[in-house]
Structure 1
Amino acid sequence: MRVVRTLEEMRQARAALTGSVGFVPTMGYLHEGHLSLVRRARSECQHVVVSIFVNPTQFGPGEDYQRYPRDEARDLALLEREGVDLVFVPSAAEMYPEGFATWVEVSGPLTERLEGASRPGHFRGVATVVLKLFNLVQPHRAYFGEKDAQQLLVVRRMVADLNLPVEIVPCPTVREPDGLAMSSRNVYLSPEERTQALALSRALELARRLVREEGLRDAAELRRRLEDFLRRSPGVGLDYVSVAHPETLAELERIEGPALVLLAARVGPARLIDNALIEP
């Protein structure tokens, strides 16, 4: 496994790869969710490239950029064990040199609501860094987790609009045995907060039960029931509940087909998101 840190090293290393390339962009502090993406890429592509870069431009003022968990040595050991060919670990100065002034922005409903409203500028940072990484890595396929459902849709929109020659491969959310969605930010949680955070996955289970078993079709009522459940959950500070179209993220009035239920809440020092596709 080769580790490179500069743009020029990355270009040279990519030029030496022949055959299909799968790419997994990460911010490091890897968990089983990230490794599931790596394994999927390994099974489908001749070469696997992983990036580790905590991207400062997708963090807003007062967010956790400085304290975001980092452990490069551990990450590299995990990736070597998974048979990764190439790891790109650039610095912020390498990715955003002095004078950097070009941004990629997906506009419209996909980025204006939910995470876009709660974290202004977040998706501009995501789209910009992902396009830069795609240009450097030139992957045939890129693998993204469905836990970040809105991010996945934004990246797909950017790829389609800019005619990028890469296939975006969505991969299922990986959960702890008790249902908590795996996240690097789970490390912020105390044992008590870790238990409180289960309210998010339990709210998604409640949504499934209400729609599938009880036949609830009124999306506004489903939102109300989930908001009430989360507001009554100890230690949970609700940000939003959305019952949306899975491709456009437009809020639904009626649940007549697949509905994407998206949640965001703060538990202790961690802001957590989760989602599930619910089919009636």
Structure 2
Amino acid sequence: MGQENGSDSDSEENSRRGVFGEEPGASRRKIVGPAFKAVFQFAKFMITLPITLVRGRRGKMDEVTVYSAHPSFFLWLLIAVGFTASAIVARYPQEAGLLGWIYVWALLYFLVMLMYDISARKLGLWTLIFALIWLGSKYVEHMKNVAVLGSVFEYLANLKPEYDPGTGTALSWLLLLPWFGSLLHMALNGRKRFTPNEIGEFHFGEGSELTDRTGLRFRTKYRDVLETVLTFGGGDLIAVDNHQNVIKRWDNIVGLFFLWKDLDRVLHQRAAVMDLGEEKVAVEA
């Protein structure tokens, strides 16, 4: 009888602790705890980002943490223009026409950014082409008195789009939902921590990933100027081996252009340590 009671109590204890000998809420805490920590670290990163971009990082650093931007992060442009234009038009209704064109151009910028990758070289080339076309049309209109682009510009001017504060505000509020989702995604899945020895990545619900930096070289690539502007100097960070094979790639690192100096310093620390180690081995030999 005593053995039966003992076995019953043991089974109850095991059921409370779970199959693997853990408390029922332990697995939940293992997921929720890192998630809150990741969100806090991301909030700290975003708050201090403007200061970092202007002044740079201060003091000795053994690691640099960066974040990859989710595509929905780019919505901040339309959200900011929408709320700003609505506030201005509400106070100065006569500016509705000007702000209507500003919103149209912001929307066009956003769509072109999504559809095409425009590098600095392509941007310069297309700017030169359009400049030549515009100068050529002006020359023809002046010398031959024939309308070329003038009629196109006149047609666009006659459209007279006007910004509607109600519509713009409603769109901005709706776009805030996916934008906040992008921030949450960046906090939980977009963090990359670079140290002299390894690269750590956190993926919510899946775990962490560590990559050994041995034999890896790093380079930056700014494949889209439009995305670079919207990510505050962001770009792609590429890890390659000695044969220039791409091992890992992190797209749209926020503020990469301004953080690269600090990141490069951390990445070179391992190279310096390895060189010192090789020299020491050679001396001992």
> Who wins on radius of gyration, i.e. which is larger?
2
Shorter chain as denominator, the TM-score bin is under 0.3
Higher RCO (C-alpha under 8 Å, 6+ residues apart) = 2
TM-score by length of 1: 0.24
Give the TM-score taking structure 2 as reference length.
0.24
**Greater share of helix:** 2
